[in-house]
Chain A
Amino acid sequence: MALMMPKPEEEILANRDLLIERLRKILPADNVIDDEVSRRAYECDALTMYRQLPLVVVLPETVPQVSAVMALANEMNVKVVPRGAGTSLSGGSLPLGDGILLGLSKFNKVLEIDYPNRCASLQPGVTNLAITKAVEHKGFYYAPDPSSQIACSIGGNVGENSGGVHCLKYGLTTNNLLGLEIVLIDGEIVQLGGKHLDSEAYDLMGLMTGSEGLLGIVTEVTVRILQKPQTVRGLLFGFPTLDDGGNCVADIIAAGIIPGGLEMMDNMAIVAADDFQPCGYPRDVESLLICELDGTDSEVDHLIARVSEIAKQNNASVIRVAETEEERLQFWAGRKNAFPAVGAIGPDYLCMDGTIPRKELSRVLAGMRELSDKHGLRVANVFHAGDGNLHPLILYDASIDGDIERAEAFGADILRLCVDVGGVLTGEHGVGVEKRDLMHTMFSEADLEQQQRVKCAFDPNHRLNPGKVFPTLHRCAELGKMHVHKGKVPFPELPRF
C-alpha cells in the first residue's frame, strides 16, 4: 500500500527492552505482550488492508494501570495507540511499529445502572449491544446501534462517534453521552460530565467524542438509556426509479414526520440481498425504502396511514405494512445482510461512508455510475436515507492485480463527489488512516491547523495515535507561532458605531 505512516523513531526502538521491563512493573506479566506471534493478533483492525506489528501490546485492567502506562510512555517519549474491540473500518487502531498498543478489552464491566436517572456507567470495553442487553428487562435500551454492535465497544463508539440506523431520530453517540472519564497523555485522570446535563465550561466531552483516540484514553463512559417505544412498525416501499424513492424520503420529512429508521437500497443491493438469503424483496424495483415508525400505539397507527399515502403519491409500485413483528424483522433481514450479500458477489468489497445532503442523492448516484464505468468496477448502494449517510460498496477482486488500487481510487473519487455536493468524507466510520489523505478536499490548511492546535492542548508531542486523521503533522511550536507582529498592524478603516 502507498500509505505513509510516521517513520519509526530509532530511539524508541532502541529502548524497547527497557520499556517492556518497566511495563511489567506496572502490569501483571500476562498483560504485557511482546512475543511476535501473540502481537500478530493485534496487527490490524477491521480495515484489514493495512497491517503493522505493534512495538508491544499492553492490556491494563484498572484505571491506575492505564494512568501509569500513559505516564511511563510520556516519560520515555513512546507513542501510544488505543484499541477497543478492533472493529474500526477506517484503521483508527492500526498499530505503530514504535508505539505501545493499549488494548481496553479487559475493561468489560457494567459499573452502574441508574434507572431513575436513566443512565448507565460502563467500562469502555463493554460492547454496544451489551448495554441494551443489560437494561432491556426493565424496558430500556441504548439508542445508537452501529451494525457492528455485537462486537464493537462503547469506548470505540466514543472514539468514532458511532451512529447506526436510528440516528435521524435518536442521534449519534455524542447526543447520548452524559459523562466520560479520560486519562490524558501524562497519566492525569479527568472527569467530564457525570449524570447531569451540559458542561460547566468548554464541552470537552463533545470534543473527545469522535476524536479517534488522538486526545486521551477513555476509561469510563456514562450513557443515557431510553425507554423502549410502545410500538415499532415497519413499512416497505418499492419505487420504479431512484428519484421516486429519494423524493418520498424528502416528502416524509417535509410533512413533519421523523421516522425511527429510514433505509434505502439500490437494485444491485436489493438483488444481492435477496440472492444471499431470500427475504421477499421486490427484485424489479430500482429503489427500496424501509421505513420504521415508533412511538405510542395511537401515534404509529396515525403515521402509517400518512406515510403510505406519501409513498403512493411518489409512484410507489410496492407498499407493504408489517402486520406482525416477524414481518417487520423480515423487512430488515435483507438490509442487515446487505454487506455480506454484496461480499458474496464481490468477491471483495470496499465500504465507503460519505454523507450528502439528501436532495443530492440522484446526482450522486448518477455520478457514481459514471465513476463505475471509469474505474471498471461495480458498486452497490445502501443508504441511511434519513440522515444522508451513504454506504457505497465497491466490488473488487483482490486476486486480480491492480484491483485493490482501482477500488481505492474509485472510493476516493466517490468521497470527493460527496464533498463537492456539500457533504462530508465520513458519516460514522471515522477518518483514521483510510481517509486521512483526503482531508484537504474538505478542509483548508487553516482549518486543519486549528484542529491540530487543539490536539496540541492535549498532546504537545504527538505521542497519542499519530499518523491518523491528519495528513501532515506539524510541530506544536510551529503551529503556535503568530503571523501578526505586535504594533505593526494598524487599525483598518472599518465602520464604527
Chain B
Amino acid sequence: MEQYAPTSAEDVAELVKAAIANESPLEIGGNHTKQALGRPVEATHALSTRGMRGVHFYEPSELVVSLAPGTTMRELTDLLDQNGQELAFEPIDYRALYGNEALSGTVAGTVAVNASGPRRIKAGAARDHLLGFSAISGRGEAFQSGGRVMKNVTGYDLSKLMTGSYGTLGIYTDLTLKVLPKPEMEETLVIHGLSDQVAIDVMTEASGLPHEVSSFAHLPADVATTMDAPLAGSTLPGAMTALRLEGPEISVTKRKADLREHFANCGGEFDEIEPSRSRNFWHALRDCAPLAKRNVDIWRISTAPTIGAKFTTAIRAAGIEASTYYDWAGGLIWLATEADAVEAVSSIRAALKPFGGHATLIRSSITNRATVDVFQPQPAPLAALTARVKYSFDPERVLNRGRMRKDL
C-alpha cells in the first residue's frame, strides 16, 4: 500500500481531496503502534502524521502544551518531565499488548483512541485533557475547535467528539493539551488475599472516603502470581488489592495510616509497594502487562464499579474461561481468554447487558477483528445518529473506513 507522510496541514488536505476524487480511501495513522486495535481498515493508501512533529508552545505555569500530531509520546513525556509535569490521564502505552517500543506512538494516536490509565477514575480521560485542535475533515477541509484555555463553551465541543474517534472523523494537524504537575510522590497500599467481591466492596468504599486514593485495582490470585516480583513490588502470595496514594509525602504517609486503620478488619493482609516501585506497578496495570504476555485474545470492559465481580461470575457461568483483573475500583475489567472471539463475543456482551457498559476486543487475530464487532454495538437509533455524525465530517468515508464499525 502506498504511504504518505505529509509535512503540512495543506498537504494533508490535498491528499484527502485526492482520496475523494479517486475513490481511494485512506488508512490514517501515526507510527503504526495501534494498527491492531479496531477493525481492519478498507484503504488503498495510508496517511501517517509522523511527518508533522514538534512542539508549538509549552507553558508550564499555564498548564498547557500545543504540538504537531506526529510528535511521539516519548518526546512529549520527556519534555513535561523536565518541568515536573505530565498528562494526568496516564495514557496507555501499547508496548505490552502489541509489542511496540515504549512510548513510540504519536500524541495524535494517543488522543484518537482516548487511551486512559488507572488514574482516569480520579483525573479524567484523554477527552478531558484535549483543550483544542486543528484538523482536516474527510471533506479535505481545515477546521479547528476549542482553544488553549481550560474554560471554554464557544461553539460545539468537537474536541470531545474527535477524541476516541480513531481517525474516522478528521486528521489532527495540531493539538493543545492540558498538563498537570506530577504528584510529589506516590506509594501503594496493598491488601492481600481478598476475594473479587470483597475486594470490590473495599475499593468502592475507599472511593467514598476523603483519603483521596487516586487508583484502585484488584488482581485475583492467578493474575497476581504471574506478575514479576520486581513489578509487583510485593512478595506476599495471593490476590492483591491495591490502593494508590499520591501527593506530598507528609500527606501520603498520613492517608496510608488512615486507610490501614479503616480497613483493619477487612480480612486481608497488608503490604506496601514502596515509592520507587509504585509508579511502575501502576504502569504495568495501565498497559495490561499482567495478561498481555499470554498469546490469547484480550478484552477491555467498562461498567459500573460495583458490577465488576458480578460480570466475571456471569461470563464464567456462561462457560468462558478467562483470567481477569480489575482497575477503576472494579469499573474496568481486563480479560484474557482462550475462547475464540467469534464464539465468546455473544457471551461477553450478553453478560454485560443487564448491567450496562461496553466491551471492546482489544487484541485478536485480524480475521476475528474483521468478523466480530470490535466495539460494543449500539441500539439502532443511536447507531444511526453515530453514522450521521460520521457523514457530517466524512461523507465519502475516506478516513479509516470500517475501523470502528463496518458502516463508519
**Interchain CB contact (< 8 A) of B165 among A202, A296, A457:** A202
Q: A140-B208, A206-B161, A496-B4 are in contact. Are A196 and B151 (CB under 8 A)?
A: no
Contact A486 B153 (CB under 8 A): no
The stretch from B123-131, B231-239, B274-282, B362-370 touching chain A is: B123-131
Contact call A197/B120, Cβ cutoff below 8 A: yes
Q: B306 touching A453 by the CB < 8 A rule?
A: no
Whether the pair A229, B210 counts as a contact (CB closer than 8 A) is: yes
Whether the pair A446, B142 counts as a contact (CB closer than 8 A) is: yes
Segment at the interface with A among B72-80, B248-256, B284-292, B316-324 = B248-256
Contact of A426 (CB < 8 Å), options: B6, B20, B64, B152: B152
Counting chain B residues whose Cβ lies within 8 A of the other chain, the interface size class is: 35 or more
Q: In the complex, identify which listed stretch (B95-103, B191-199, B265-273, B352-360) lies at the interface while the others stay far away.
A: B352-360
Chain A residue total in the interface (Cβ 8 A)? 113
The answer for the CA separation of A140 and B140 in the assembled complex, in Å, is 48
A-B contact count (CB 8 A): 321
Tell me the interface secondary structure of chain A in the complex.
Answer: loop
Contact: B381 with A201, CB < 8 Å?
A: no
For window 203-249 of chain B, which residues contact chain A by CB distance below 8 Å?
204-205, 207-212, 247-248
State the A residues within 8 Å of B (CB).
Answer: 114-119, 138-140, 160-161, 163, 167-168, 171-172, 174-175, 184, 188-192, 194-207, 209-212, 227-230, 250-251, 253-254, 256-258, 295-299, 302-303, 355-359, 384, 387-389, 422-431, 435, 439, 442-444, 446-451, 453-458, 469, 480, 482-492, 494-497
With known contacts A451-B155, A488-B21, A199–B164 Cβ distance under 8 A: yes
Instruction: Determine if A357 and B148 form an interchain contact, defined as CB atoms under 8 angstroms apart.
Output: yes
CB-defined interface of B366-389 with A at 8 Å, one 1/0 digit per residue?
000000000110110110011011
Give the docked Cα–Cα distance between A167 and B4 (Å): 41
B36 contacts partner chain A, Cβ-Cβ < 8 Å: no
Decide: A451 and B161 in contact? CB cutoff 8 A: no
The answer, yes or no, to whether B283 is at the interface (CB within 8 Å) is no
**Are A258 and B356 closer than 8 Å at their CB atoms?**
no
A448 proximity list for chain B (CB < 8 A): 155
| Residues of B close to A196: CB separation below 8 A | 302-304, 331, 356-358
Given contacts A140-B208, A197-B332, contact A160 B148 (CB under 8 A): no
Residues of chain B whose beta carbon lies under 8 Å from any beta carbon of chain A: 2-7, 11, 14-15, 17-18, 20-23, 48, 51, 59-64, 84, 114, 116, 120-121, 124-125, 127-128, 137, 139-145, 147-161, 163-165, 169, 180-182, 184, 204-205, 207-212, 247-248, 250-251, 253-255, 302-306, 328, 331-332, 356-358, 360, 375-376, 378-379, 381-382, 385-386, 388-393, 395-396, 404-405
Q: In the complex, what residues of A have CB within 8 A of residue B360's CB?
A: 200
Q: Determine if B145 and A298 form an interchain contact, defined as CB atoms under 8 angstroms apart.
A: no
Bound-state Cα–Cα, A257 to B153, Å: 25
Residue numbers in B under 8 Å from A206 (CB-CB): 127, 157, 159-161, 163
> Beyond A204-B386, A482-B395, is A491–B151 a contact (Cβ under 8 Å)?
no
A486→B20 contact, CB < 8 A: yes
With beta carbons under 8 angstroms apart, the residue of B152, B382, B392, B393 that contacts A355 is B152
Residue with the greatest number of chain A CB neighbours at <10 A, chosen from B14, B181, B251: B251
The smallest C-beta distance from A441 to any residue of chain B, in angstroms, reads 10
A212 to B153, CA, bound (A): 9
CA A295 to CA B248, docked complex, whole Å: 11
